[in-house]
Amino acid sequence: MTPEHRRERDDRVNDAAATKDVWYVLARARIEEAPRTLAAAQDAVFRRYLPMARTLANSLCWGNRAEDPVEAEQAAELGLAQAVLGWRRPDSGGFEVFARASITSQLRRLPAASVADPAGHPRPDRQLVAGGEPSRGQS
């Protein structure tokens, strides 16, 4: 194994351990009612899952963004924040699914003014549905 691969593997192991520690700190802060520690742990969880939220915001449909990509990212961040604040389990088991549902819920609330086809042409007969897949509009 090359030194670069060892370093990448070590980084992944360290990231996994740090993530597990954050969940432990989060659970302890809730039990001990330590607001500053709780806020710091929630912030760490939020930052850990922020790339996932942004990816969901940027992949609404065919890789095209909503009319306002900043608005889509803000909606995704709001959904993630709600997931972090609403999570009550002492570990991360199932959190990613929970967070994706919360993020998707916020993204669905965005106006789907013009969902474009892969070439960027508006498709007024289509609307955005869950998972970024297009759906034929009802006529």
The per-residue pLDDT for 125 is 41
Residue 91: what pLDDT? Answer: 86
Sequence ranges of the domains in the chain: 42-136
Phi and psi at residue 51, to the nearest 5°: -60, -40
Predicted confidence (pLDDT) at residue 133 exceeds the cutoff of 50: no
The pLDDT value given to residue 69: 83
Q: What is the mean pLDDT of the chain?
A: 75
**Residue 90 CA: distances (Å) to CA of 3, 17, 132:** 36, 15, 31
- At 59 the pLDDT is 80
The Cα–Cα gap between 34 and 91 comes to 18
- Residue 68 pLDDT greater than 70, yes or no: yes
Q: How confident is the model at residue 137 (pLDDT cuts 50, 70, 90)?
A: very low
pLDDT of residue 1: 66
Q: How confident is the model at residue 58 (pLDDT cuts 50, 70, 90)?
A: confident
